[in-house]
Structure 1
Amino acid sequence: MKIYNTNRLARILLFLMISTKIIMAQTETQPYEIIIKIEDGEIRYYPPIMVAEHKSKNPGSGFGKLFNYISGNNNANTKIAMTTPVHIKKNEDENSMSFVLPRKFNPESAPLPIDESIKVYEKESGYYAAIRYSGYTNESKERLYSKKLQNILKKLEIKTSGEEVILVYNSPYRFINRKNEILIPIIYEN
């Protein structure tokens, strides 16, 4: 009986890994250009992009509301494809979570949210320092990689220009090869 359960579990895990890989291969990812590699990180340029954002004191409360928005709870009753990454900002006063909208949307064409706690807007272009880490994200990893990136920037005398952002690329159902990043806006001159 145990062999049957082990085989069944192995088949389920294999199915989840394959289906996640197929879904991720079809998911649009926010574009950026790598300007230069810096030690364990990169300097990137991000062009303008449309985002849907939810702000709250509770860091986990935004996902459901944002998911409802892209599932059709908007003025156009339009389903919007999920993209990557999810942007998360955390601080003592307020947290925010943002979904990047597909590139086909602009300020005139993006559906308006019915839920007034969601704001849809065009995020300005900018330069960012980025560092990648794997596994599930948590506060300990976020602090570690944020500090690591800040130390690199300090060493290279690159000035920051805003709050850091946590980028989460994978659904919670993906168990291996997970990708997360810390972004810090910077003042960068080519």
Structure 2
Amino acid sequence: MKITLIVLGILVLGFVIVQIYAMKSQSGIENYPYKVVKRFPRFEIRNYEATLFTSVKLSTNNYKEASGKGFSILAGYIFGGNETNEKIAMTSPVSMSLEDSMTIMFMVPKKFNKENLPKPNQSDIEFKEEPSKTMAAITFGGWANSKKIEAYKNKLKTALDEEGISYSNKFYFFGYNPPFEILNRKNEVLVELQDISKN
């Protein structure tokens, strides 16, 4: 019994240490810059700055498959899988387009541009300039999956329809946490808006 309690205590302590490390590591990560335009009870409208991303397009619309494969490919690049073996800092969030062929994107840290980014070893990685855009975002916690993402996509559409806000068919999923972080997980579904001045 005593040994069991000691083992449990070590496991709990290890879990707490990992979660504290995860939360602290998130605090120093560069984020996709935006300003909140307006808050509503279920969502908010944001203006995002023009930003450079590394991206990979996958021929699947399955969240689990796309996120696993896409993350692995892009992580390989920023962890040194490039012509100069240079490590590039992780950023947040990981972005995923919600289409039949999903595109996974990591934001490029501001100190880089297309000219000084090292060339990827994998030919399917592209550098993508995302223009400034206005998007509506709905947030949810826990672990994301295809069913949850689709549910919050529909909730966002319903909320926007009720407010009479026009939106495009360009939806995205944003994931903010590393896989080993269990507490305080944050996920978002976003959609690009039409000209909000007309709403």
Please report the TM-score for the alignment, with normalisation by the length of structure 2: 0.89
What whole-Å deviation, never above 9, does each CA across 1:74-125 have from its counterpart, x for those lacking one? 2333211000000112333x12211111122223233332211111121111
Amino acid at match of 2:31: T
- Separation in 2, partners of 1:30, 1:90: 18
Q: Which residue of 2 aligns with 1:78?
A: 86
Amino acid at match of 1:73: G
Q: Is the 8 A contact 1:168 1:180 kept in 2?
A: yes
Q: Which residue of 2 aligns with 1:108?
A: 115
- Superposition pairs of residues 34-183 of structure 1, within 5 angstroms: 34-58=36-60, 59=66, 60-92=68-100, 94-183=101-190
Deviation of 1:46 (Å): 0.5
Q: Unaligned 5+ residue runs, structure 1?
A: none
Q: Is the 8 A contact 1:113 1:120 kept in 2?
A: no
Q: Which residue of 2 aligns with 1:25?
A: 27
Q: Is the 8 A contact 1:158 1:188 kept in 2?
A: no
SS at match of 1:183: strand
Amino acid at match of 1:182: V
- Separation in 2, partners of 1:162, 1:52: 22
Deviation of 1:56 (Å): 1.2
Q: Is the 8 A contact 1:55 1:95 kept in 2?
A: yes
Q: Is the 8 A contact 2:166 2:196 kept in 1?
A: no
Q: Which residue of 1 aligns with 2:63?
A: none
Q: Which residue of 1 aligns with 2:192?
A: 185
SS at match of 1:129: strand
Structure that is richer in helix per residue: 2
- Separation in 2, partners of 1:142, 1:170: 16
- Separation in 1, partners of 2:69, 2:57: 9
Question: Which contiguous aligned blocks of 4+ residues in structure 1 show a shift greater than 3 angstroms?
Answer: none
Deviation of 1:26 (Å): 1.2
Please report the TM-score for the alignment, with normalisation by the length of structure 1: 0.93
Deviation of 1:147 (Å): 0.8
Query: How many residues get paired?
Result: 189
- Separation in 2, partners of 1:90, 1:187: 18
